[in-house]
Structures are given as C-alpha cells and as structure tokens.
C-alpha cells in the first residue's frame, strides 16, 4: 500500500514540475496527419459487368450494400419529375412479390432498402445478408411499375409542389438550378405541375429497363463480411441480371459570363433568402478538390468562416452565412447563402461579393488555415463512422479513377494545403465577377436595390420554378378612385346589402387534398355571431375530425388531435369578426380602415390593391378585380405567419337574392401546405340549431 501511495505522490510532483515549465500561451503544433484505415478491401467483377467491392468491418454484426449506376440519362424534358418518382415506384412490388409482401419481408428483418433513379441501397443484420441481397436483386431486375401507384404518387407530388410555390428556399433552389445550368442540362430541369401531369407509365418503365443494368453498376458491400462469403451470394442473386448497352447523353457545363441578378418575388415577405451561385468545372477525385474544399471552408464552411464572421458577428444581419463548393461529374457548383431582413438584403449581397473578392487577394493567416483544416479533418473522421460513406468511397475510387490510396492519404493531403494553395483555388473557383445572384423576397422592398450588382444594371424576374417572367409593375389607380368606391362595388357584386343581411345561417362544405389524403372542410355561421369550422380526414372509407373551432357568440374553443384549448386574446377578436355573417357591412364596428394603394395584375386581370388595418393595428392587403369588383386575393400576417388566400369561381346561391360564394379557395403560407378547397355544397337559412355551437 505504501509503495502505491508513494508512486501517486511522485507522479503528482512530476506533473506539478512539468506544469511550471509548460507555456500555455503557445498553441501546440499539430502532429502528423494519420493514415486512414478503411478496412480490408477486395473486389471482383461478375460476367455481366457488375463491379463489386467488399470492405471488411467486423466491429458490428451488420452489412450495408450500395449500388450506384454510372449513367448519363436523357433529359426528362416536358415530363420532368419522373426520375424522382422512381424512389417510390420501384418499391411498389415485383413480379414475385406484391408491395405488401415486399414491405412485410423488409420489416420482419428490421432491414432498410432504398432505391432511386441513380442507385439503390440496403442494410441490416449480418444474419439477414442473403435475404437482403435477394430483395435488392428482385427490385433491380423484376420491379413492376403500376399505373395506380404512379397516379397516386403524381397526385401527392403535385400537392407537395403547391406547398413549395411560396417557400423561399425552394424558390431559390429552383431558380438557381435554371440560371446555373439551363434547361438543357439535367440539373436545370425543374418539375412543375404541367410536367408532372404529362408523366406516363412508359417514361418510368423506359428509364428502369434502360438504365438499371449491371454493366454500368458499382456495388460496395461494407460490414461484417468477407469476399469469400459475399461472392457466391452476389453471383447467385445478381449473376442473372442481364447486361445491355446503355445510352450516354452528353451535357455541357455552362459558364456564367458576368454577374446577373435573378429575383423570385414573394408578396409581403419580410426577409430575403440570398444565394450567390454559379456552376464550376470541378470533377470528383481531381487534385484540386481537397485544396478547393479548404478554400471554401475559409470563406464560409462554418462559424469560423469569413462570411459568418462578417455578416453575423460584425454586422448582425443574419443568424448564419455559409458557402459550399460541390464537385460533380456532370457539373459542380458554388453557392454562398444567407437569410436576412429586407432592409439589409442589398448590403448582405455586397458583403458576400466583397468577401469572395478578398479570397483572391487577402492571404489566409496561419490560424484560420489550420482551423479550416481541423474542421474538415473532423468532418471526415465523423463520416467514417457511417458504413454508407465508406461504401461510397469504395465506389468513388473506381468510378472516378482516383488513386487507390486517395482516402487513406486524405488527412495527409489535407494537412499539406498551404495559404498559397488557398489563394490559387480562390482565383480559380471563387468568382464574384461571374456569379448569379439569386434572391427570393419582397419585390417592392428589395428587388431594385439589387440592380447595381448586375453587370447590365437590370433585375431578371422568375417564378417559383425558375421560369422567366415579366416584372409586374404596380399601376396607379384611376384619378379620384378611392378604397370606399372599390369596397362599395365589391358589396354590390356580392349581391348587395339586402342580400347579405338576409343570410341568417349558412353552411359551406368543401373538399381538398393534402399529401394525397382527402379532407372535408365544413364552415357554419349563424346570426348574430355563432361560428363553427371542422376539418375531417377521409381515409379508407372512414372519416376523422382532426381540427375544430367552435364559438357560441361569447366564448369558444379550438381542438386539434384531441387537445382542446379556449380561444382567447387576439384569436377571440378574430373569430368574433369571422362569425359575423355581415362583417363586411360592419367595418366601423371592428375598426377596419382601408386605403387604395394602386393596381396590379392578379392571374392576368387588373385588380385594385387595398391596404387594410384593423383596430389592433394588424395589416392585410386585399385585391379586388377591377372588372367584376369581387375579392380575388388576400394577404395577411407576416414572416412565418404570412398567409395568402385566393378566391375564384364565384356562384350565386339560389334563393338569396343574388348572394355569391367563391367555390374555389386556395390557401398558402410559409408554415402550411397549399390547400385548394372546392366547395361542394352551400346551405342557406336552413335553421341551424344552436346546439351546433356547444
């Protein structure tokens, strides 16, 4: 015992002495980069051309299998979107298994099988290796694409697309794709409702039978398996996969000649999403990739990047500012992105361009360079924990003709990058003078301020899908025209005061679809101020109420997924006004003030734009068709709570002396899916009992 105590005491004294001599103000120099060991890798090729790589990793009793197709398919053209649908379509059954049987077998193993237009993957416990290969081979060779499955996926995809129409991130992504690559490149094809509707069963089947071929496929298997175990199984399940000549399309990587501002307008937006972006000719595995990655990290790869330190830390314009430089065989891309307030959007663009220019002239200091290398080293090490990443590395080496020791030496090559390398890569790949400045935001508050950054001094406008459009210009209202004139015409168009006051109760029933699910929306009002709305989901022949609002004229509640809460505060004020059938005639009661702003085109027709402020100071914008006088659009809220409503297909209700109801209402917002409601029934003055509002 005494010897142990003495040893501990001796160590403590030695440590204290060492601490006195250690200068903690001097950062320790990084040690030599280690050589990465990815595991024993062996390969073989089947007679049908399938190239297989087996990477042994016996830490866990699992396997992961990735198949990647090295293809350059034909453009989708005016049927854009069918390749994305294959991820679901190819899991909808085979010639030997129904969709339910396929899902049942996957679930029983607790396995994972995914498929897409460019490849497939599967994984699970080692004991299920043979079964996983069996299922993957069945999908690769015997998939059956059915019309009813395609119709369901098309419907769901179109519904999801509606949601993206007002999402700034999606708008910037789509516009960037088009302005960077053009519609004659696969990266520039953006699915729209029109292209999705044109997709046929032949489109999907032709792609599957053309490009799902073993002679253009690379398979990587990573996990608790040896090549001796894997080879007979691969030969058994994939050996009969028929090879076939696969067509190769040629694409040209476009080159941006000068800066251009591409703007996608979001009505009443309070912030902008900005991307400074352009295509680059940077192929995977080439000597520039690692050096260029360090340069990009110095600029905007994290919280130590120049963009973050400038736009967030120095100016507080944003929560984050980042950049990416992505190599790709079909065409790489650079982008620097930021989200910021309207008032500073143009300044943020200027700062991004300035930092990009500085990368070409301002030498990175030693600390910033080392921080970037350390950051990338950490990300690389973390990535090695994912078997799918290791599998991808094995495929990359063969597919892109990279050195066999590329990833083993990755950290060594990374640590060897110098400040001179960073500047050389910046001159080559970070080009603020040849960039597309893509912005989604408020046209009125932001767009024209960005014109100074465009080489031609102009702003080009695009819709949500990247289609060029003419700039919509607000027009002045006719001289002497007032908001009161516009609103009086609206009341007359709705049937007049007599017709409106004649409505004692009204029930409107409508239907819609959200993500492929049918819903029924029922709205009931009864004078002098009772209200009820319910939303029911219809599935499998059964109906379930998922949302409800009830107001008895004094108090109310809202219920969602079984949780009930009282309506209070501003919500109570809003539902009180909503419950008033004749609220349009009672503007003074609710403190509503309207002012005529001008005129704009809405869906191809001129409309009066009226700014509205209520007693609580809440603002909204109403658009009244100049010809008919009817309300065709309304925007309320702001930021994440912004909501746009569009009204059309007005019809007169029989027996109401001319009272009209819009039979089509489309609701969209930043935090909600687009909902298009089609009215199926309107009942007026049927004597709705008060018990409906309990």
Residue burial 474-513, b: 16+ Cβ < 10 Å; e: rest = eeebeeeeebeebbebbeebbbeeebbebbebbbbebbbb
Q: How far apart are CA 139 and CA 133, in angstroms?
A: 10
Percentages (nearest 5) of helix, strand, coil residues in the chain: 40, 30, 35
CA 100 to chain CA mean position, Å:
29
pLDDT at site 637:
81
Listed as ranges, residues in the chain with pLDDT below 50 are 1-22
Look at residue 188 in the predicted model and tell me its pLDDT.
Answer: 96
What's residue 31's pLDDT?
Answer: 56
Residues 6 or more apart in contact with residue 673 via CB below 8 angstroms: 159, 160, 162, 163, 514, 515
pLDDT reported for residue 266: 84
Q: Report residue 670: phi and psi, to 5°.
A: -65, -30
User: Could you count the other beta carbons within 10 Å of the beta carbon of residue 95?
Assistant: 9
| Span(s) in the chain for CATH 2.50.20.10 | 483-693
The token pair that represents 549 in the structure block: 């609002």
- Whether CATH 3.40.50.2300 fits 483-693: no
504 within 8 A of 525, measured Cβ to Cβ: no
Assign domain 260-378+400-469 to its CATH superfamily: Metalloenzyme, LuxS/M16 peptidase-like (3.30.830.10)
Tokens representing residue 452 in the block: 């100074």
Location of each CATH 3.30.830.10 domain in the chain: 41-238, 260-378+400-469
Between 3.10.450.100, 3.30.830.10, 3.90.1170.50, 3.30.2320.20, what CATH number should domain 41-238 receive? 3.30.830.10
**Beta strands of 407-447 (E only): which ranges?**
436-441
Chain center to CA of 537: 25
Residue 312: strand, helix, or coil: helix
């Amino acid at each position: 015992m005494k010897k142990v105590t003495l040893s501990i005491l001796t160590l403590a004294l030695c440590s204290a002495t060492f601490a006195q001599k250690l200068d903690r103000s001097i950062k320790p120099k990084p040690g030599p980069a280690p050589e990465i060991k990815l595991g024993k890798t062996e390969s073989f090729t089947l007679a049908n051309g399938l190239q297989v790589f087996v990477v042994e990793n016996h830490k866990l009793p699992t396997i992961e299998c990735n198949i990647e197709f090295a293809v350059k398919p034909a453009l989708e053209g005016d049927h854009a979107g069918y390749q994305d649908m294959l991820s679901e379509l190819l899991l909808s059954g085979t010639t030997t298994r129904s969709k339910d049987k396929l899902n049942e077998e996957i679930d029983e193993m607790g396995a994972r099988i995914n498929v897409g237009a460019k490849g497939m993957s599967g994984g699970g416990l080692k004991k299920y290796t043979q079964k996983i290969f069996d299922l993957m081979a069945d999908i690769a060779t015997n998939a059956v694409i059915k019309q009813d499955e395609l119709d369901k996926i098309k419907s769901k995809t179109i519904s999801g697309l509606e949601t993206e129409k007002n999402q700034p991130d999606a708008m910037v992504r789509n516009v960037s794709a088009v302005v960077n690559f053009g519609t004659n490149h696969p990266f520039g094809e953006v699915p729209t409702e029109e292209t999705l509707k044109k997709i046929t069963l032949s489109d999907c089947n032709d792609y599957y039978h053309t490009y799902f071929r073993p002679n253009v496929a690379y398979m990587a298997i990573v996990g608790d398996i040896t090549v001796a175990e894997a080879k007979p199984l691969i030969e058994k399940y994939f050996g009969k996969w028929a090879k076939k000549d696969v067509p190769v399309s040629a694409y040209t990587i476009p080159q941006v000649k000068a800066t251009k501002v591409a703007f996608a307008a979001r009505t009443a937006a309070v912030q902008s999403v900005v991307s400074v972006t352009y295509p680059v000719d940077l192929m995977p595995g080439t000597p520039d990739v690692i050096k260029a990655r360090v340069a990009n990290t110095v600029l905007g790869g994290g919280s130590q990047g120049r963009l973050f330190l400038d736009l967030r830390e120095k100016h507080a314009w944003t929560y984050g500012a980042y950049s990416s430089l992505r190599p790709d065989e079909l065409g790489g891309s650079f982008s620097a992105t930021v989200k910021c307030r309207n008032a500073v959007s143009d300044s943020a663009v200027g700062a991004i361009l300035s930092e990009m220019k500085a990368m070409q002239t301002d030498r990175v200091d030693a600390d910033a360079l080392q921080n970037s290398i350390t950051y990338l080293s950490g990300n690389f090490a973390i990535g090695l924990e994912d078997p799918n990443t290791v599998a991808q590395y094995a495929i990359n080496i063969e597919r892109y003709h990279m050195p066999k020791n590329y990833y083993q030496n990755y950290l060594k090559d990374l640590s060897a990058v110098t400040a001179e390398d960073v500047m050389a890569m910046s001159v080559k790949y970070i080009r603020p003078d040849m960039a597309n400045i893509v912005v989604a935001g408020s046209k009125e508050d932001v767009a024209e301020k960005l014109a100074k950054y465009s080489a031609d001094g102009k702003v080009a406008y695009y819709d949500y899908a990247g289609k060029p459009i003419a700039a919509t210009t607000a027009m002045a209202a006719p001289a002497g025209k007032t908001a009161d004139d516009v609103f009086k015409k609206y009341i007359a168009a709705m049937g007049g005061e007599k017709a409106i006051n004649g409505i004692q109760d009204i029930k409107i029933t409508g239907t819609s679809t959200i993500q492929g699910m049918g819903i029924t929306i029922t709205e009931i009002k009864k004078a002098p101020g009772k209200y009820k709305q319910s939303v029911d989901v219809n599935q499998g022949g059964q109906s379930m109420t998922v949302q409800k609002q009830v107001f008895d004229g004094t108090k109310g509640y809202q219920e969602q997924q079984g949780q009930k809460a009282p309506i209070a505060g501003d919500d109570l004020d809003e539902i009180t006004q909503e419950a008033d059938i004749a609220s349009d005639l009672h503007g003074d009661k609710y403190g509503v003030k309207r002012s005529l702003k001008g005129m704009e085109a809405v869906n191809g027709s001129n409309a009066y734009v009226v700014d509205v402020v209520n007693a609580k100071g809440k603002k909204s914008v109403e658009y009244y068709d100049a010809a008919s006088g009817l309300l065709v659009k309304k925007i309320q809220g702001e930021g994440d709570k912004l909501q746009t409503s569009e009204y059309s297909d007005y019809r007169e209700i029989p027996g109401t002396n001319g009272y009209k109801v819009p039979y089509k209402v489309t609701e969209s917002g930043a935090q909600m899916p687009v909902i298009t409601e089609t009215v199926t029934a309107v009942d007026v003055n049927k004597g709705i009992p008060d018990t409906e509002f309990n």
